[in-house]
Amino acid sequence: MENLWASWRSDFVLGEKEDYCIFCKRGREKKRQKDLILYYGDYSFVIINLYPYNPGHLMVVPYRHLKNIENLTPEEHSEMIKLMVLSVRILKKKFKPHGINLGMNLGAVAGAGIEYHLHYHIVPRFTGDTNFLPVIGETKLQSVDINIIRNALKPEFDRYMKKS
């Protein structure tokens, strides 16, 4: 068996942890200008991952603090799926990825870095985005600054917000 290492996430895994839920805190602070949140829905929001696997790595997060997917209401789950589809549409338009991973890690053993507040991941994939640098150099090359990503995506989400 081969191992796939994601050592660029070591700052997140080994770093100091907040003693509050980062998603609950971000979901309540709807007026922040420099935040990574791209869209506020009725039941959930879209946020840029601060520790991305790739540029444009987004997450759809319910406002309610839930660990188990089976506790989502039909309305919450429906909106989260709609926001995932919207996120995919916008990522394809703005960044033209060669593929996209969608998913949810439920529980620490399933890969959840934040296991106490469930969330969907939307990860754009590009040919050659996996290479030797994270494994040998213990470095993940982030080719696009997170503020550039936000500035490219936010207007698209704002346009959608005006339509709905």
Share of the chain above pLDDT 70, in %: 72
Burial label, 128 (beta-carbon count in 10 A; 0-12, 13-18, 19+): exposed
Name the one residue in this structure whose structure tokens are 């895994």: 13
Confidence of residue 61 (pLDDT cuts 50, 70, 90): very high
119 is catalytic: yes
Please tell me which of 63-77, 122-136, 150-164 the model is most confident about, judged by mean pLDDT: 63-77
Domains of the chain: 7-163 (3.30.428.10)
pTM over 0.75: yes
Is the predicted pLDDT of residue 11 greater than 90, yes or no? no
Whole-number pLDDT of residue 143: 66
Half-sphere CA count of 67, side-chain side, radius 13 A: 8
The Cα–Cα gap between 146 and 51 comes to: 10
At 4, the amino acid letter reads: L
What is the DSSP-derived secondary structure letter of residue 82? Answer: H
The predicted-structure confidence for 66-120, as pLDDT tens digits, reads as follows: 999 999 999 999 999 999 999 999 999 999 999 999 999 888 888 877 888 999 9
Q: Between 83 and 147, where is the model more confident?
A: 83
Kindly report the backbone phi and psi dihedral angles of residue 66, in degrees, each rounded to the nearest multiple of 5, phi listed first: -125, 140
Sign of CA dihedral 61, 66, 69, 70: negative
pLDDT of residue 33: 46
Q: Catalytic: which of 57, 117, 119, 121?
A: 119
